[in-house]
């Protein structure tokens, strides 16, 4: 028997597996494929969804080694590249690069629509808005669970984000043209060089 999940948080799933699987816990390989859509449901299935994507496995002490190998074969078989790490390292990293961006996108859309002219603003939005907010269309029940399961890590990364935002705003308030350009340039360089992991897909 091989049991896997495909959730975006691992610490909470491992706790649930300990309770639910008990003496079968060795069969469990916690898994998180770094791929997805803002659409849920079997009618949006896509056979190529995992091609070229990373899948993170976070085996625990109890996990049988043979099952980690079988899990790796399953994911490699659908074209994914497997990475292994601890559940703690996983949950911290994904709070930063996935869960927090979702929270920010939800909050951003809420802030726009809460304004009297919000709907007029949305009519004028372009491709930048389209991409920045794509993840705000995510499944509410799923993202409620993710944000609550990984709450402490997400809130910690949110604090770091607010501090960075305050730094940019201070440069704007000071009219510090060179400082603001330098700060934007540093972010722009990082993002321009970035590509999706070692398992980069062409887009």
Q: Which of residues 33-62 bind a second copy (CB under 8 A)?
A: 34-36, 38, 53-54, 56
> Residue 14 or residue 56: which is nearer to a second copy going by CB?
56
The HSE-up count of residue 199 (CA atoms within 13 Å, CB side) is: 17
> Residue 61 or residue 120: which is nearer to a second copy going by CB?
120
Applying CB under 8 A, among 7, 26, 79, 196 the residue interacting with a second copy is 196
C-beta of 60: minimal distance to a second copy in Å?
19
> Residue 62 or residue 96: which is nearer to a second copy going by CB?
96
Q: Which segment (10-18, 23-31, 60-68, 151-159) binds a second copy by CB under 8 A?
A: 151-159
C-beta of 25: minimal distance to a second copy in Å?
26
Considering only residues 99 to 138 of the shown chain, the ones binding a second copy according to CB under 8 A are 100-115, 117-118, 120-138
- Site size for a second copy, by CB under 8 A? 93
Is residue 164 part of the contact set for a second copy (CB under 8 A)?
yes
Tell me the DSSP string of 10-45.
Answer: SHHHHHHHHHHHGGGGGGEE-EEES---S--SGGG-
Is residue 191 part of the contact set for a second copy (CB under 8 A)?
yes
Of 6, 2, 24, 3, nearest in space to 145 by CA: 6
First-to-final CA distance of the chain:
36
> Residue 27 or residue 91: which is nearer to a second copy going by CB?
91
Is residue 25 part of the contact set for a second copy (CB under 8 A)?
no
CA distances from 191 to 98, 178, 185, 197 (A): 15, 20, 10, 13
Handedness of CA 92, 98, 103, 104 (dihedral sign): positive
CA distances from 198 to 31, 53, 166 (A): 18, 9, 33
Query: What does the per-residue mask of binding to a second copy show for 2-21, with x meaning CB under 8 A?
Result: --------------------
Of 36, 31, 54, nearest in space to 46 by CA: 36
Q: Tokens 């601890």 label which residue? A: 86
């Amino acid at each position: 028997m091989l049991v896997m999940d495909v959730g975006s948080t691992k610490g909470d799933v491992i706790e649930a597996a300990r309770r639910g699987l008990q003496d079968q816990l060795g069969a469990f390989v916690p898994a998180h494929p770094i791929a997805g859509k803002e659409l849920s449901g079997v009618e949006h299935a896509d056979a190529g969804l995992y091609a070229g994507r990373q899948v993170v496995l976070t085996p625990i002490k109890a996990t049988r080694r043979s099952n980690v190998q079988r899990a790796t074969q399953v994911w490699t078989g659908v074209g994914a590249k497997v990475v292994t790490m601890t559940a703690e390292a996983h949950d911290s990293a994904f709070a930063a690069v996935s869960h927090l961006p979702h929270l920010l996108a939800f909050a951003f859309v809420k802030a726009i629509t809460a304004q009297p002219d919000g709907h007029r603003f949305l009519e004028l939005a372009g491709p930048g808005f389209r991409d920045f907010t794509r993840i705000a269309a995510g499944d509410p029940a799923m993202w409620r669970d993710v944000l609550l399961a990984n709450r402490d890590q997400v809130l910690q990364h949110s604090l770091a984000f607010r501090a960075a935002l305050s730094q940019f705003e201070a440069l704007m308030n000071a009219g510090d043209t060179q400082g603001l350009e330098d700060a934007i340039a540093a972010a722009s360089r990082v993002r321009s060089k970035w590509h999706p992991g070692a398992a980069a897909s062409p887009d």
